[in-house]
Amino acid sequence: MRTAAVTAGIVAAIAVLSAVHLTQGTASTGVLDVLKALVGDGDAQTLAVLEGSRVPRLLAALLIGVALGVAGAGMQSVARNPLASPDTLAVNAGSHLAVVSIAAFGLSLPTLPAGAAAFVGGLAAAVVVLGLSGGGSASPRLVLVGSAVALTLQSATTLLLLMFEEETNGLFGWGSGSLTVSDLNATAQMTPVVVVAVAGLIVMGRSLDVLALGDDSATVLGLKVRRTRVGAVLLTVALTAASVTVAGPVGFVGLSAPVITRLLVPLVPGLGRHRVLLPVSGLVGVLIVLGADVVLRAVMGSAAAIRVPTGVTTTILGAVVLIWLARRGRSSGTPRQAPAGRVGVAGSPRRFAVIAAVLVLLVVAAPVVGLMLGDRLVLLGDLANWLAGRSGTALTFVVDQRLPRVLAALVAGAALAVAGCGIQSVSRNPLAEPGLLGITAGAGLGAISLITVVPMAGAWHIAGAAGAGAVVAFALVYGLAWRSGLDSDRLVVIGIAMWSGGMALITLLIVTSDPWNTAKALTWLSGSTYGRTSEQVLPTVLALVLLTPLLWARHRELDLHSLDEDTPRVLGMRVERSRLVILAAAGVLAATAVSAIGVVAFVGLVAPHLARSLVGGRHARVVPVAAALGAVLVSVADTVGRTVIAPAQVPAGLVISLIGTPYFVLVLWRTREMRT
């Protein structure tokens, strides 16, 4: 009875939301007009409005909610992890990349073949994530691997959107999940796919109940575990692909809906059985999608809400749910070993001197090469003439334009690397970095908010806004992650949630303030030095000059923070004060880097790791070596991005993401035995 009552209540709520949804729109058609149309007494204009936009949008919301809600419940059961979803398994990102690839290369496929391509892309992503995370477990490894793979796939998608702007026109907003559909064609063709996949999962309900007991117990009970898991993955990916084909990747519905449904299980025990859990999760998914769309249009107005993808709202909701799950979950248990302990010990002084000399050479060579390469080749002799003031007007113009870009890449890379050193030490987490802890997203949100309100804002004002955003973001991440101590896994998962929420808010700002300037939006979000000026580089230079020596002077504190929570206190160090100083310095460095080149991920992860692998774990050596490596990494990425498809350009952040993700996954793989 309770199960039936809850289901009936959800269906009633969906009916109410659907009725409200039909009355919202830009046309003058009101509530009474819609009611008359529903009883067969509507005029031609009302019928045209309903058939042309409102009904297709409503039916798309219903289909997407069911598909993602059921898919998320199935994925969480297969992985036995409440963090699993089409987003955290990168299925959305893989399907999205497949659809954008088709459009970018000028192919116009019918709905079903396009859905098949989305299925292949999503399945490939899911296989990679589940394989690297050990098939899923209760630990946050799944969301870490999934976020890394998703970031790479999103970088590839963004690259296609930039390179084929005309062919992919309109796909930026759609890439966040949009219910703006012009007809029922895609919805009608994907509905049978969703119905069959949902029915298939419900039929597998008893097998999923047994699978939830664990592989060993399920095998003893006669369940063919591998066949069950493969079948469930195929069906959940098919549901996700159908959703992406209709409306793009609507974020975090597949995470939120099953979690909300499972919260009702203590009150309604019948919901714990998969044959009930799956369809009810689908209904809750409909509530989330419809509710997000209704609230969005009610708050912003129907005309303004057209530009805002519904997926932005659901992603913000999903980020909140992910944070709640991370706080609710258990600690990772075993005290975390210092990052330095994973990469060996320091070499001899001679080896360090050789490494330092090579890095100095690279730091000098990287900007010189950056000045030489681009859409026009500049020779060393030309650079010498430019330095001596003997170059012609054309050459002077080219080099003068490149110099701020080269400097921006150099100093921003160094700043992000030093920030990564501080954050990894304090959090004792080798996976922590400004991007994955939400700092760069917060900085980007602060900077873009100011640019939106004050388009002519100066470099120092933008840097200040970025700094404020970074401080607020990390304060939230750190505060939410603290629960009777700082758990490193929880810190990173909450940081990823903050990253997702921050990027959703950035998308919201862009599509509402400057919706037609997609290239500008993508360039900023992808981390680019395009159009940099010397004034914009100056805040980063100043922060680097002032704060790097400060962190280096505290290298003993960084070493102690890396050990554990107790040793620094025993030795008399004021842990909280030291931690606050280090994190504040790291936040300012990351914020000024974002104000200089936009949102860039993975530099703060890769550079400190490479530094420790070269010179050991002592921060007296790690900090300067990481700074040099970060500078070279971003400088080389910027040069490659400006040269490889010249005169077109690839933002440096995209190049770094394509490099950083394999490294991130390698770090996860190397540390897999050190986690519980």
- State phi, psi for 387 to the nearest 5 degrees: -65, -35
- Indicate whether 270 and 367 sit together in one domain: no
pLDDT at 168: 65
Judge whether residue 339 has pLDDT over 70.
Answer: no
- Indicate whether 281 and 376 sit together in one domain: no
- Indicate whether 290 and 350 sit together in one domain: no
Taking the C-alpha atoms of residue 373 and residue 352, their distance in angstroms, rounded to an integer, is: 31
Residues with Cβ within 8 Å of 174's Cβ and at least 6 positions away in sequence, in order, are 247, 248, 309
Tens of pLDDT, residues 607-616: 898 888 888 8
- Measure the CA angle with vertex 511, ends 505 and 512; round to 5°: 90
Please tell me the total count of domains within the chain.
2
More confident residue, 37 or 661: 661
Q: Of 237-246, 611-620, 629-638, give the lowest mean pLDDT range.
A: 611-620
- State phi, psi for 482 to the nearest 5 degrees: -80, 120
Judge whether residue 70 has pLDDT over 90.
Answer: yes
Residues with Cβ within 8 Å of 487's Cβ and at least 6 positions away in sequence, in order, are 331, 332, 481
Give the residue numbers spanning the domain of 421.
339-674
- Indicate whether 448 and 590 sit together in one domain: yes
Q: Using omega within 30 degrees of 0 as the cis cutoff, is the peptide bond preceding 515 cis?
A: no
Q: How far is CA 112 from the centre of its chain?
A: 28
Q: Of 51-55, 381-385, 541-545, give the lowest mean pLDDT range.
A: 51-55
pLDDT at 282: 94
Taking the C-alpha atoms of residue 598 and residue 400, their distance in angstroms, rounded to an integer, is: 21
Instruction: Identify the CATH number of the domain in which residue 104 sits.
Output: 1.10.3470.10
- State phi, psi for 486 to the nearest 5 degrees: -105, 110
- Indicate whether 274 and 348 sit together in one domain: no
Average pLDDT value over all residues in the chain: 80
Judge whether residue 335 has pLDDT over 60.
Answer: no
Taking the C-alpha atoms of residue 536 and residue 405, their distance in angstroms, rounded to an integer, is: 10
Most confident region among 413-427, 485-499, 651-665 by mean pLDDT: 413-427
- Indicate whether 378 and 277 sit together in one domain: no
Largest CA distance in the chain: 89
pLDDT at 277: 92
More confident residue, 67 or 306: 67
The token pair at 620 is 């007296």
- Indicate whether 254 and 147 sit together in one domain: yes
Distinct helix (H) and strand (E) counts, the chain: 30, 0
**42 DSSP assignment:** -
Residue type, 297: R
How does residue 235 score in pLDDT terms, banded at 50, 70 and 90? Answer: very high
More confident residue, 400 or 133: 400
Taking the C-alpha atoms of residue 570 and residue 332, their distance in angstroms, rounded to an integer, is: 24
| 147 closest CA partner among 343, 318, 338 | 318
Q: Residue 26 burial by CB count (10 A; 0-12/13-18/19+): exposed, middle or buried?
A: middle
Tens of pLDDT, residues 289-330: 998 888 888 887 777 767 778 888 888 888 888 888 877 765
| 505 closest CA partner among 426, 552, 446, 549 | 446
By three-state DSSP, how is residue 350 classified?
helix
- Indicate whether 479 and 549 sit together in one domain: yes
More confident residue, 158 or 36: 158
Taking the C-alpha atoms of residue 402 and residue 547, their distance in angstroms, rounded to an integer, is: 26
pLDDT at 531: 73
- Indicate whether 351 and 279 sit together in one domain: no
Tens of pLDDT, residues 350-385: 888 888 899 999 999 998 888 888 778 877 787 888
The token pair at 372 is 């030489």
How does residue 546 score in pLDDT terms, banded at 50, 70 and 90? Answer: very high
Domain end among 268, 297, 326? 297
The token pair at 22 is 């039909």
CB atoms within 10 A of CB 324: 15
Domain end among 267, 282, 297? 297
Judge whether residue 69 has pLDDT over 90.
Answer: yes
The token pair at 165 is 């702007």
- Indicate whether 606 and 536 sit together in one domain: yes
For the stretch 476-482, contacts whose Cβ atoms lie closer than 8 Å and that sit 24 or more positions apart, written own/partner, are 476/438, 477/437, 477/438, 477/439, 478/583, 480/323, 480/326, 480/327, 481/326, 481/327
556 domain-assigned: yes
Q: Give me the percent of the chain exceeding a pLDDT of 70.
A: 84
- Indicate whether 361 and 247 sit together in one domain: no
Taking the C-alpha atoms of residue 93 and residue 659, their distance in angstroms, rounded to an integer, is: 18
| 175 closest CA partner among 256, 97, 286 | 97
Mean pLDDT of 429-444: 78
Q: Of 201-205, 215-219, 430-434, give the lowest mean pLDDT range.
A: 430-434
332 domain-assigned: no
Judge whether residue 251 has pLDDT over 90.
Answer: no
13 domain-assigned: no
pLDDT at 360: 92
- Measure the CA angle with vertex 132, ends 130 and 133; round to 5°: 65
Taking the C-alpha atoms of residue 436 and residue 536, their distance in angstroms, rounded to an integer, is: 25
Domain end among 242, 269, 297? 297
pLDDT at 218: 84
643 domain-assigned: yes
pLDDT at 674: 47
Mean pLDDT of 107-112: 77
How does residue 71 score in pLDDT terms, banded at 50, 70 and 90? Answer: very high
CB atoms within 10 A of CB 397: 11
Q: What is the DSSP secondary-structure string of 134-146?
A: TS--SSTHHHHHH
Mean pLDDT of 204-209: 90
By three-state DSSP, how is residue 263 classified?
helix
455 domain-assigned: yes
pTM, two decimals, is: 0.78
How does residue 105 score in pLDDT terms, banded at 50, 70 and 90? Answer: confident
How does residue 525 score in pLDDT terms, banded at 50, 70 and 90? Answer: low
Judge whether residue 280 has pLDDT over 90.
Answer: yes
Q: How many residues does the chain have?
A: 676
310 domain-assigned: no
- Backbone CA torsion sign across 82, 87, 90, 94: positive
- Indicate whether 80 and 192 sit together in one domain: yes
Q: Of 498-502, 554-558, 581-585, 666-670, give the lowest mean pLDDT range.
A: 666-670
4 domain-assigned: no
| 409 closest CA partner among 465, 455, 363 | 363
pLDDT at 334: 42
Taking the C-alpha atoms of residue 184 and residue 200, their distance in angstroms, rounded to an integer, is: 24
654 domain-assigned: yes
Judge whether residue 10 has pLDDT over 80.
Answer: yes
Mean pLDDT of 562-569: 75
Q: What is the DSSP secondary-structure string of 588-619?
A: HHHHHHHHHH----SHHHHHHHHHHHHH-S-H
**393 DSSP assignment:** H
User: Taking a C-beta distance cutoff of 8 angstroms, is the pair 174, 309 a contact?
Assistant: yes
Residues with Cβ within 8 Å of 432's Cβ and at least 6 positions away in sequence, in order, are 420, 423, 424, 488, 491, 492, 495, 605
CB atoms within 10 A of CB 226: 11
